[in-house]
Amino acid sequence: MNPKLAKWEEPLFELLRSVDNQLESEFGDLYPHHPARPPHGATTNPQNDGLLRVSANFTAGFGSDHGRGYTLNMEFVTLVPVADKHTDAMESRALKLIQDGLDRTMPERHLKIKRDGNLWKIVGNLSLS
């Protein structure tokens, strides 16, 4: 991996791990987690354990209204159907925590979360310099 990319992404991924942990404390007891996933806190990366997964993936943004950015994935990882009200509440809380964290940790980048079709995307100054 390009060292500049790693340096750019590390604060973002650390923020997402923090948000995942916060969401686990707020929503983690609503449903049983997927049987293939260990309990929350059992792994070094909260994306791999517990009921919730918060992650981001770079996209070049071809065909997008907002261009390149990081698409956000926020989900309950369970075999049980999740009520829309719980999905909406978790997503709303996650978006607020992520935006607040971006503003706090990378204010010079002017990163914002925007709706892009049916996805949420982090857009702004993605420069590696």
Residue 61: which domain range? 3-123
Mean pLDDT rounded to a whole number for the chain: 94
Note the pLDDT of residue 129: 79
Q: Does residue 18 form part of some domain?
A: yes
Q: Does residue 129 form part of some domain?
A: no
- The count of residues in the chain is 129
- How many folded domains does the chain comprise? 1
Q: What is the pTM of this model?
A: 0.93
CATH number (domain holding residue 69): 3.30.70
Binning pLDDT at 50, 70 and 90, where does residue 71 land? very high
Q: Is 49 exposed, middle or buried (0-12, 13-18, 19+ CB in 10 A)?
A: buried
Note the pLDDT of residue 47: 86
Arithmetic mean of pLDDT, 60-85: 95
Indicate if the pLDDT at residue 39 is higher than 80: yes
Indicate if the pLDDT at residue 128 is higher than 90: no
Q: Does residue 128 form part of some domain?
A: no
Q: Is 10 exposed, middle or buried (0-12, 13-18, 19+ CB in 10 A)?
A: exposed
